[in-house]
Structure 1
């Protein structure tokens, strides 16, 4: 685990991803609802994905955080695959790498 994130798959590479969403869902029993905005002709459309339930084992653990983060990140990836021309990321998404992994840049 990185200082404030966990490494989960994102487009075939491990990406350091905030664990805050998973921690909030685990602590509050809230569902994670993936949402994105897409441009459609001359207006925006808001798309709402299937709610993601936090992964729970017998005890609150780092694995719960990792598994939940991986699940909702996969949902975000689905949106991007459906609308690749509308994906914008303003920083180098794969800059932070797991220990021992080579740079992708």
Structure 2
């Protein structure tokens, strides 16, 4: 029931925020810093099934004061005849983006969970 409500909400133009850089023991294994990490596929599945868009975001601290810049990056969602491959591609692309951001500003990232467990 909840999944259907979420899908309907997004189809009607609603926006949904999902934390995607967490360990998901049932997730899709995709490369993250050279090692497969089980990754949540929900954002990719929702976007693929509803025609929704994916906007990735990060908050970057500026200096030592409490000043931050929020950056957004749209991730194009393929819509080929192979939905499963599209979901895999999007999930891997999201993870690559996180890896790029971590490499760019490693001091800005903290995980309190085991990403590769």
1:56-71 map, 5 Å: 56-61=79-84, 63-71=85-93
Partner of 1:52: 75
Q: Post-superposition shift, 1:94?
A: 0.3
Q: Post-superposition shift, 1:90?
A: 0.6
Give the TM-score normalised by the residue count of structure 2: 0.71
1:1-105 map, 5 Å: 4-41=26-63, 42=65, 43-49=67-73, 51-61=74-84, 63-95=85-117
**Quick check: which one's helix share is greater?**
2
Considering only aligned residues, what root-mean-square deviation do their CA atoms show, in Å? Answer: 1.7
Unpaired stretches in structure 2, ≥5 consecutive residues = 1-23
Please list the CA deviations of residues 64-84 of structure 1 after superposition, one character each: whole Å capped at 9, or x if unmatched: 211110011111211111110
- Aligned residue pairs total 92
Give the TM-score normalised by the residue count of structure 1: 0.78
* Partner Cα separation in structure 1 for residue 110 and residue 55 of structure 2: 20
